[in-house]
Amino acid sequence: MEIPENIWQQAQKLRETIERHNYYYYVLDEPIVLDAEFDQLFLELQQLEQHYPELITPESPTQRVGGAPLKEFSQVVHRTPMLSLSNAFEGAEVVSFDRRVCQGLEVGGIEYAVEPKFDGLAVSLCYENGLLVTGATRGDGFTGEDVTLNLRTIKSIPLHFPDGLKGATSLEVRGEVVMLKADFERLNQCQRDRGEKEFMNPRNAAAGSLRQLDPAITASRRLTFFAYGVGTYAGSDVPCNKHSQMMDHLASLHFMVAKERRVVSGAAGLMAYYHEIGTIRERLPYDIDGVVYKVNDLAEQERLGSVSRAPRFALAHKFPAQEAVTELLGINVQVGRTGALTPVARLEPVLVGGVTVTNATLHNEDEIGRKDVMIGDHVVVRRAGDVIPEVVAVVMQRRPSTARNFIMPDHCPVCGARAVRLPGEAATRCTGGLFCPAQRKQALLHFVSRRAMDIEGLGDKLVEQLVDHAIVKTPADIYKLDMTLLSSLDRMAKKSADNVVKAIEKSKDTTLARFIYALGIRNVGETTAKELAYYFGNLEQLMTADEEHLRQVPDIGPVVAQSIINFFSEMHNREVIEKLRATGVHWQEGVSTKRTKTIGGRVSDKTFVLTGALPSLSREEIKERIELAGGKVTGSVSKKTDYVIAGDGPGSKYDKAIELGITILDEARLLQLLQDSGAP
């Protein structure tokens, strides 16, 4: 069938738009259209291609998943071998590396390109004349597995370069396939919901997802590719003479490269970078296991060459491992503030991430079952940042014949009350309520914690004594503590007792948000407490609110609303609140600070459409501000649209706005408009 010229153009335009959106969404992490809009464009292209199959080209975004599952992967010989890196663990090794480089090059003050060491799976992507032809795993460094079909499903991998690759006919891009932490959490949540085995860590999940014979499975797992180098670059002169420039070049070809890459000088620069990344490691969206240093000058890299499969010009400086294997000696059960019984693994002490770990959480009964944990097993323990260490998996090969099952107790190990597991809940809970000393202690510790009433010096040892001696039963009793009583306790010097009394007194002057949070209402965390305080302005209003009223508060759904109602309908809780106020706990009683919607002015009742990425505000922020000023944000441009807000890389909505003669504003002009309308 002869394809009309305008259809070619239409398909081409759709592809370019879809690719641009993919790039903004997956590579830049700044989506510029709504999902529904994207899906619509994708569907249009699919329908067009269905109608005119000749339109289909391998680089079309519709062709990322296709074909039947493979029987096995074929082998690919890497054009340039994929070397590994020499490792360093200590600063002294970094200093020797820099010294060796200086000696090798006979210069000092070497410039290094430095970047995070991604903890994923190394792959090599071969592009011929600007088109992705093969993608392979590292394998033994010389030969890897052909995983092209799977790699094509990864949206951060360009299937082709926008205008071919000026000059180069052959380009091998090296990098790492990872699973972002957020995608890993989502995947494991999904596995849990389906009662399937969870993945141990993002690297295992990435490897398991990439080495799938059925590309449809890979496509269903969100993977990300980060480029960190180039293998062969043939057919034209290399457009750069520094590694850092090569990374910029790859970024311009729409590859994702580490945002945290830098250029530093000498061993001191390397060490400073190591520490810098060490402090932000937890906040990175992906797992890393160290940093990589590379001599920046490509000619100098060449001069240094390699030894035994590792280049002399590069070094991996590793962070302490976040996982370790150790023996599970036993399982204790702890009782939390809400009565939840948490099984805690007692471990043979082991060093994880530079800290000795002796206990790790096993979360709940289902988790133990899913991970098939038995006492006596060797288990993998993971500790990341501030997170409580957890048992992530069992080393099955090492299970001893003496391993035994753990049985969740049916009575609270602290107060002896019945422990029950309600349908639909993962936790088994002690039914003792605040009569259970464990729950009481936790509730009190929560009440005095920094973000709640902030009573410094009332730590767990002291709370334990106060509860065990029945001196403190409810939070209100804390305000009865005095010097005489406190200094009569074990290990309580006069000075500390004095400090505690002062801290108690000081805590009386608080805020409504802190007070609500301190009450420890189930499902009411710090943010919700703030929202409630902001919305109701005073406690009486909150205490008497019904579900409908509570659900007016941002982010409060039926479950949280019910928790709040349950809490305040307990006579006991009302009494404690009454007593607390009687002892002098107070806050600024405000009028309701309910967010008001009607402001009038030039924004009120106007309809806005957003397109493109704005320089400083996110979509959510803009939407919120417009709505606060009484305006409305919609998804598509029509005659009813009053304003189109356009940022970088606007889509078809921009064209439509011009076509319909609608006023187009940039961010600055929008902000001006909002201000003129008297918006907050």
Annotated catalytic residues are 117
Q: How far is the CB of 228 from ligand IVH (least distance, A)?
A: 4
From the list 165-173, 308-316, 328-336, 346-354, the region that binds ligand IVH by CB under 6 A is 308-316
User: How far apart are the C-alpha atoms of 552 and 265, rounded to whole Å?
Assistant: 56
Q: Which of 357, 344, 337 is nearest to 408 (CA)?
A: 344
Contact with ligand IVH (CB under 6 A): which of 316, 434, 492, 503?
316
Q: Does 229 bind ligand IVH (CB under 6 A)?
A: yes
Q: What are the tokens at 310?
A: 């590792």
Q: Does 138 bind ligand IVH (CB under 6 A)?
A: yes
Q: Does 83 bind ligand IVH (CB under 6 A)?
A: yes
Q: Does 228 bind ligand IVH (CB under 6 A)?
A: yes
Nearer to ligand IVH, 311 or 647 (CB): 311
Q: Does 225 bind ligand IVH (CB under 6 A)?
A: no
User: How far apart are the C-alpha atoms of 554 and 315, rounded to whole Å?
Assistant: 50
Nearer to ligand IVH, 27 or 314 (CB): 314
Q: How far is the CB of 270 from ligand IVH (least distance, A)?
A: 14
Q: How far is the CB of 576 from ligand IVH (least distance, A)?
A: 54
Contact with ligand IVH (CB under 6 A): which of 37, 176, 198, 297?
176
Q: How far is the CB of 384 from ligand IVH (least distance, A)?
A: 18
Nearer to ligand IVH, 122 or 206 (CB): 122
Tell me the β-bridge partners of 172: 126
Which single residue brings its beta carbon nearest to ligand IVH? 122
Contact with ligand IVH (CB under 6 A): which of 55, 85, 165, 670?
85
Cα R_g (the chain), whole angstroms: 30
Q: How far is the CB of 122 from ligand IVH (least distance, A)?
A: 3
User: How far apart are the C-alpha atoms of 611 and 32, rounded to whole Å?
Assistant: 6
Q: Does 173 bind ligand IVH (CB under 6 A)?
A: no
Q: Does 515 bind ligand IVH (CB under 6 A)?
A: no
Q: Does 78 bind ligand IVH (CB under 6 A)?
A: no
**Cβ-count burial 307-341 (b if 16+ within 10 Å, e if not):** eeeebbbbbbbbbeebbbebbbeebebebbbbbbb
Q: What are the tokens at 314?
A: 């590069």
Q: Does 314 bind ligand IVH (CB under 6 A)?
A: yes
CB atoms within 10 A of CB 633: 16
Q: Which of 445, 575, 593, 598 is nearest to 511 (CA)?
A: 593
Q: How far is the CB of 230 from ligand IVH (least distance, A)?
A: 10
Asked if residue 150 lies in contact with residue 85, where contact means CB atoms within 8 angstroms, the answer is no
Interactions with ligand IVH, residue window 106-135 (CB under 6 A): 115, 117-118, 122
User: How far apart are the C-alpha atoms of 662 and 387, rounded to whole Å?
Assistant: 51
Q: Which of 476, 113, 441 is nearest to 269 (CA)?
A: 113
Asked if residue 670 lies in contact with residue 645, where contact means CB atoms within 8 angstroms, the answer is yes
User: How far apart are the C-alpha atoms of 540 and 399, rounded to whole Å?
Assistant: 58
Nearer to ligand IVH, 299 or 483 (CB): 299
Q: What are the tokens at 446?
A: 């929560």
Q: Does 84 bind ligand IVH (CB under 6 A)?
A: yes
User: What type of residue is 122?
Assistant: A
DSSP 320-364: PPSEEEEEEEEEEEEE-TT-EEEEEEEEEEEEETTEEEEEEE--S
Q: How far is the CB of 139 from ligand IVH (least distance, A)?
A: 11
Site for ligand IVH, rule CB under 6 A = 83-85, 115, 117-118, 122, 138, 176, 228-229, 292, 311, 314, 316
